A = this chain, B = another copy of it.
């Protein structure tokens, strides 16, 4: 049975569906569709995206996987109160409850102890192949039930520890063979990616976890004609870095060191307090300065959990640079952002843009979506302005932009 009889719906399958980003996505989507909020923070609401033929927001329908019990409405209350928006969750209770009814227990195979410790609902599986089949069945059932012609699977779950690469990752056939055994070959983020791409759905990795960044999964996407993009949403300190670093390049000023320190208090932060999970994150954040400024720059980035901050994420960066005649100068900044409010509109943007790309026949890695990511797949460009200019060109002509 198809809900509501909608024929052109776009399904959004959220991995980590009761997390703070998902709650904000679902409530925020309801506010936008209901005309209660203006689309501030959505890239697709500005020119020229606003004039493009992207799926309208009212076509999106949400479901997802989650390993924690509880109600999405409760998570939305907690996160939106923490964002300074009390009362908002309850205004969109029916949308949150409807989505909650479409959430299924997720998998934790290979997620590491910090994530395993969170799990209260999980699907058992005797092999990675079985886990993938279970995930895929859930997604297909969601598509059927909602009449979604296309599904975009978005990973917004907690950051995994970096997995040890397995030799079979290099080749899809080898991977398929390995996944039939009892050993854990892929971490959860990659299991979801496999299931999505194998079903011909699109996959977006909004986290630094490995997701579809595995050669065999890239092969799978090509074979199935599925699109994917990632990784790690660029929402705060790294966003500022990717703009500000250009100042030094254009003015030929010599950056000596760039030190960044992040403090945050939500569950993302609590998970990152685990050293293995933190290492994955820091690797993703620390990429771009060397790329933009050159390898000589002494760069460090730290991230620490400060519970009292809740949803607020604060970053302090100290940039030490050399000018004319060797003079030493500095630039410091302090970013104070509300994490879920920065991430949620980008998730909506990505769903719309990926669905648009798939609809016009694109498959494989969508490198043009680089501006959304700290560690973009399919492009070496790390500078926000250049990334954004390239995305605008791609919007008009996917061939011309390459």
| Contact of A263 with B259 in the complex, beta carbons under 8 Å | yes
- A242-259 vs B, Cβ < 8 Å mask (1 yes, 0 no): 011011011111101101
Complex Cα–Cα for A263 and B259 (A): 8
Q: Which of B83, B244, B254, B332 contacts A243 (CB 8 A)?
A: B244
Please pick, from B40, B257, B308, B323, the residue contacting A257 in the complex, using a CB distance under 8 A: B308
A46 within 8 Å of B (CB atoms): yes
Does chain B have a CB within 8 A of A304? yes
Q: Would you call A306 and B253 a contact (CB within 8 A)?
A: no
A119-127, A169-177, A178-186, A337-345: which lies at the B interface? A337-345
When the two chains form the complex, which single residue of B85, B87, B243, B246 contacts A327, counting CB atoms closer than 8 Å?
B85
Q: Give A154 to B54 CA distance when docked, in angstroms.
A: 52
From the candidates B42, B85, B323, B326, name the one contacting A337 in the complex (CB within 8 A).
B323
The reply to whether A304 and B304 contact each other, CB–CB distance below 8 Å, is no
Check if A323 sits within 8 Å of B243, measured CB to CB. Answer: no
Chain B residues positioned under 8 Å from A328 (CB to CB)? 84
A8 at the interface (CB under 8 A from B): no
Contact between chains at B252 and A39 (CB < 8 Å): yes
What is the total number of copies of this protein in its complex? 4
- A302 at the binding interface (Cβ < 8 Å): yes
CA distance A84 to B330 in the complex (A): 14
* Chain B residues with CB below 8 A from A263, complex form: 259, 318
**Is residue A261 contacting chain B, with contact meaning CB distance below 8 A?**
yes
Cα A3 to Cα B243 with chains together (Å) = 48
How many residues from A make CB contacts under 8 Å with B? 72
How distant is A332 from chain B, measured CB to nearest CB, in Å?
5
A309 interface residue (CB < 8 Å to B): yes
Tell me which residues across on chain B come within 8 A of A239, comparing CB atoms.
247, 251
- In the bound complex, do residue A40 and residue B252 qualify as a contact, i.e. CB atoms below 8 Å apart? yes
Q: Which residues of B contact A336 (CB under 8 A)?
A: 329-332
Known interface pairs A246-B385, A334-B331; A298-B304 also in contact (CB < 8 Å): no
Bound together, the chains give a CA A208 to CA B238 distance in angstroms of 34
Q: A16 within 8 Å of B by Cβ?
A: no
Please state if B261 and A326 are interface contacts (CB–CB under 8 Å).
Answer: no
Q: A41-B324, A320-B308 are in contact. Are A302 and B83 (CB under 8 A)?
A: no
CB neighbours (8 Å) of A298 from chain B are 306-308
A322 contacts which chain B residues (CB < 8 A)? 40
Complex contacts, A314 vs chain B, CB 8 Å:
318
Query: In the complex, which residue of chain B has the Cβ closest to the Cβ of A44?
Result: B252
A329 touching B320, Cβ below 8 Å: no
Pair B243/A243 contact, Cβ less than 8 Å: yes
Most chain B beta-carbon neighbours within 10 Å: one of A42, A261, A327: A327
CA of A259 to CA of B327, assembled, Å: 24
Closest to A327 in B: B341
Looking at the complex, which one of B37, B45, B251, B384 makes contact with A41 (CB distance below 8 Å)? B251
A328 to B82, CA, bound (A): 11
A327 and B84 contacting across the interface, CB-CB below 8 Å: yes
A342 neighbours in B (Cβ, 8 Å): 323-324, 329
Chain B residue contacts of A254, Cβ below 8 A = 40
In whole angstroms, what is the CA distance A84 to B333 when docked? 24
Tell me the bound Cα distance from A329 to B318 in angstroms: 16
Q: Could you tell me if B384 and A323 are in contact, using CB atoms closer than 8 angstroms?
A: no
The winner among A251, A263, A300, A323 for most chain B CB atoms within 10 A is: A251
Q: How far is the CA of A46 from the CA of B253 in the complex (A)?
A: 10
A86 at the interface (CB under 8 A from B): yes
11 A-B pairs with CB atoms under 8 Å apart are A37-B325, A37-B326, A40-B253, A40-B324, A41-B253, A41-B323, A41-B324, A85-B327, A259-B306, A306-B320, A333-B334
